Chains A and B, each alone.
Chain A
Amino acid sequence: MRRWIATLALACVAACAAGGARDALSPPPVPGVAILIIEPDVQLSLLTVNARKIPRADWSAAARMLVAQHVRDAVQSKGRTAVLQARADVSVQGRQILLLHDAVLTSIRISEDDDPPPTLSRRRTWTLGVGARALGEETGATHALIVSADGEVTSAARAAFVVGAAAMGVLAHTGLQRASASLVDLETGDIVWRNAVVAAPDQDMRDPDGAHRLVTALLNGAPL
């Protein structure tokens, strides 16, 4: 078993294995409280015919706006107040908490391996610590919803190449879009719920309807 290889695969490929909604790890937000929505971190690229990834800031910006809108709508549809926080406005400590969240996600992915290390079992809980309070200062929110997404959009030339390769029995890589969400208790820093999905073909987050379907799948089962 090569744990570092597993770590690399899990960290780089992220949520390639579609994850269903997890059971709540600790008490979810009580009805009526405000939910802080951190501006989704979205990075999309074009996958060229030679499998090169070219970052597309325009796609990322469009998808970021759409995902944020649908996440906010989903929270509000539960009768809650949604407070959207731009990442640029997050405090210095808040930024550290968001970076810590990314690091925690890497450990969570290791814990979801078939044979996880003994201290990273699938059943364990995860926390960002009490420093997470920095995220919710002056918002009145008790929980924060942290969403990130990335992926590639397959170019037409790449799609033709993939079809041609398949005809010759060769499996070639195509683009995938992925998204993950964590609900964080801002008092304790505990991650009380999380989910990760791989976008279905009709869940292109650059498209309003696709983004809606992706967010619906992502937040399925969230204790909002």
Chain B
Amino acid sequence: MIAVTRRATLGGALLALSACASMRDPAPGVLRIGSGFDVTLTRVWSDFTPSDARGMRLISIDGPTLNRLYLAGGLKPGEGLSARKPESHAPFHAGMSREDLIAFVLDSVDALGFARPETASAHAAKFGAADGLRIDMETRTGDGLEFSATALIAEHAGRLNVILYLAAREHYYAATLPDVEAIMASAVLR
């Protein structure tokens, strides 16, 4: 019998991040992400942002165990996406190399409760007007549910801006990817 842990699987790991959440469900329109950037949403999303998050929003369409979008704007040196930092976690610092940025994103995915994130591809991409990096990844939950992920990341004026999308590889990743691509394309740095 396969090990299927039904209760609080991914949710439990995520909940370790924070206990609280806001109820600021973003409506279609411009959404400001900390001091870093704005994006334009074309549909309603549900907000699951931990209440102690700073400059970061966590939103989802089908619930965070199925898909989630992290938007982090204006991260300062020493900051990351997650308050839970594994030993290997390398926080942001100004002037990170391409390899450092990839390692930052992989460590962030790990710190968010996923297992063994791996880079599928990485290439230069625009984050608003800034030169950034687009990173596609594969990972899985602690129970083994396979997730695909993609991130758009760029340093601007000594601050880090991140759009990170994760979703179950079966059905849910592809289902919401067009919305995420539109959000990434709409980013305007501040």
User: A residues within 8 Å of B by Cβ?
Assistant: 1-5, 7-8, 11-12, 14, 39, 41, 43, 86-88, 90, 93, 95-100, 102-107, 110-111, 117-120, 127-131, 148, 150, 189
5 A-B pairs with least C-beta separation: A129-B171, A107-B63, A117-B46, A3-B21, A99-B145
CA distance A84 to B66 in the complex (A): 28
A5, A97, A99, A148: which contacts B143 (Cβ < 8 A)? A99
How close is A170's CB to chain B, nearest CB, in angstroms? 25
Chain A contact residues: helix, strand, loop or mixed = helix
Residue numbers in A under 8 Å from B45 (CB-CB): 119
B binding-site residues for A, Cβ under 8 Å: 1-2, 4-12, 14-15, 18-23, 25, 44-48, 50-51, 60-66, 141, 143-146, 168-172, 175
Residues in chain A near residue B14, CB distance under 8 A: 4
Closest to B169 in A: A96
Main secondary structure of the interface of B (DSSP, over half): loop
Residues of B with C-beta under 8 A to A97 = 170
A131 x B48 contact (CB < 8 A): no
Q: Is the CB–CB distance between A2 and B19 below 8 Å?
A: yes
Q: Are A110 and B63 interface neighbours, CB within 8 A?
A: yes
Min C-beta distance of A186 to chain B, whole Å: 14
Question: How many angstroms from the CA of A151 to the CA of B80 in the assembled complex?
Answer: 38
Residues of B near A86 (CB, < 8 A) are 1
Bound state CA distance, A129 and B4, in angstroms?
19
